[in-house]
């Protein structure tokens, strides 16, 4: 159930993207909506297990890299905050897909549009279910790329091109600070895992560090974490 929630939109998007022209547009759209409908049911079951029963579910999928004490892996974390976000993501995605069937039913490239929608939903799920900041960054980047593709779907329109470029540029600016934050966490904690970092927050709330040099003066920042998870 948890694995289905994570991979369903990725698999569905690959199927309709690669084989949509063979299975037909009606079948492709039906598969997309069916996948989201099943995902919504599973999210309700997960809501009962995690939120109602006050549980936290973690899944370690794959270890990508181990360097000394630093371990980079793919994992899932389902807590109350994650499940509430999943409810919102899958319900809105289902509504958008159903609406798009009618609104874009005349468009000859609707299969491509639904492929982009599926990838967008998948990366949103990656973002909210991540159990570490590096995976969170992957989800953030994927959402940014899919936003560019969806905004620029009608690429022959100048307004669409300008909007897509503006969205991409703003994402790149945010990426700089995102990467700096991840590097700081790796330097200080030797990990990017939520559970480890959040458990150590109280011990470093008075931490001071030097961020950069400017005109031979050291600008000093007081690092006080304001990150709160719902199940601390």
Specify if 19 maps to a domain: yes
Specify if 84 maps to a domain: yes
Specify if 224 maps to a domain: no
Neighbours of 201 (CB within 10 A): 15
The pLDDT of residue 125 is 95
The domain in which residue 124 lies consists of 2-185
The pLDDT of residue 207 is 61
**Which residue stretches of the chain have pLDDT < 70?**
204-232
Whether the CB-CB separation of 6 and 129 falls below 8 Å is answered with yes
The pLDDT of residue 49 is 92
The pLDDT of residue 209 is 58
Specify if 77 maps to a domain: yes
Specify if 107 maps to a domain: yes
Count of domains observed in the chain: 1
The pLDDT of residue 95 is 95
- Secondary structure in 3-state letters for 139-195: HHHHHHHHHHHHHCCCCCCHHHHHHHHHHHHHHHHHHHHHHHHHHHHHHHHCCCEHH
Q: Using one digit for the tens of pLDDT, what is the confidence trace for 84-95?
A: 999 999 999 999
The pLDDT of residue 204 is 67
Specify if 98 maps to a domain: yes
Specify if 219 maps to a domain: no
Q: Is 118 exposed, middle or buried (0-12, 13-18, 19+ CB in 10 A)?
A: buried
Cα gap 75→20, rounded to integer Å:
31
Whether the CB-CB separation of 159 and 97 falls below 8 Å is answered with no
Specify if 210 maps to a domain: no
Q: Using one digit for the tens of pLDDT, what is the confidence trace for 21-63?
A: 889 889 999 999 999 999 999 999 999 999 999 888 888 888 8
């Amino acid at each position: 159930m948890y694995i289905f929630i994570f991979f369903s939109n990725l698999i569905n998007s690959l199927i309709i993207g690669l084989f949509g022209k063979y299975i037909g547009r009606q079948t492709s759209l039906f598969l997309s909506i069916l996948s989201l409908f099943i995902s919504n049911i599973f999210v309700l079951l997960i809501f009962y297990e995690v939120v109602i029963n006050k549980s936290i579910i973690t899944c370690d999928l794959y270890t990508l890299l181990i360097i000394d004490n630093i371990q980079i892996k793919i994992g899932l974390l389902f807590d109350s905050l994650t499940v509430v976000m999943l409810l919102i993501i899958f319900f809105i995605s289902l509504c958008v897909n159903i609406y798009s069937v009618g609104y874009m039913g005349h468009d000859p490239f609707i299969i491509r549009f639904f492929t982009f929608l599926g990838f967008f939903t998948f990366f949103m799920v990656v973002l909210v279910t991540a159990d570490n900041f590096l995976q969170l960054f992957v989800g953030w980047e994927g959402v940014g790329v899919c936003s560019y593709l969806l905004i620029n779907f009608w690429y022959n329109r100048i307004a669409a091109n300008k909007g897509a470029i503006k969205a991409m540029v703003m994402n790149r600016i945010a990426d700089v600070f995102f990467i700096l934050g991840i590097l700081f966490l790796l330097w200080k904690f030797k990990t990017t895992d939520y559970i480890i970092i959040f458990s150590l927050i109280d011990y470093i709330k008075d931490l001071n560090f030097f961020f950069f040099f400017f005109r031979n003066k050291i600008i000093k920042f007081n690092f006080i974490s304001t990150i709160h998870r719902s199940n601390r």
